[in-house]
Amino acid sequence: MDDADIQQKSSKRVVGRPFKKGQSGNPKGRPPKDFAISDMLRSISSEVDPILKKTNLELMCRTAVEQAIEGDQHARKWVADRMEGKAREYIEQKIVKDELIVE
């Protein structure tokens, strides 16, 4: 690369402020957020079943409780975690001679 190439590249760089005072660098603003999966799930869950007159969320919760009563361990854990909150896990640590020992 010779001096002419370096000077040509450096002359393309914008020094200082690239926009006029009062002019935005992004006049259209930030693009709108896409519709997320969580938004779709909330929308579907809040729909009311026309026959049962209950929301889909109520029906899903009822199904989970029924499965827990029937003995499904995953359903039992899910229901318990939602009702009582997940149990905290405590980890005891001891430092011996600048070494970390996790029990």
- Written in H, E and C, the secondary structure of the chain is CCHHHHHHHHHHCCCCCCCCCCCCCCCCCCCCCCCCHHHHHHHHHHCECCCCCCEHHHHHHHHHHHHHHHCCHHHHHHHHHHHHCCCCCCCCEEEECCEEEEC
The predicted-structure confidence for 12-22, as pLDDT tens digits, reads as follows 676 777 777 77
Confidence of residue 57 (pLDDT cuts 50, 70, 90): very high
Look at 7 and 83; give whichever has higher pLDDT: 83
Look at 96 and 62; give whichever has higher pLDDT: 62
Identify the pLDDT of residue 44. Answer: 92
Is pTM, for the whole model, over 0.85?
no
Identify the pLDDT of residue 103. Answer: 61
Look at 33 and 91; give whichever has higher pLDDT: 91
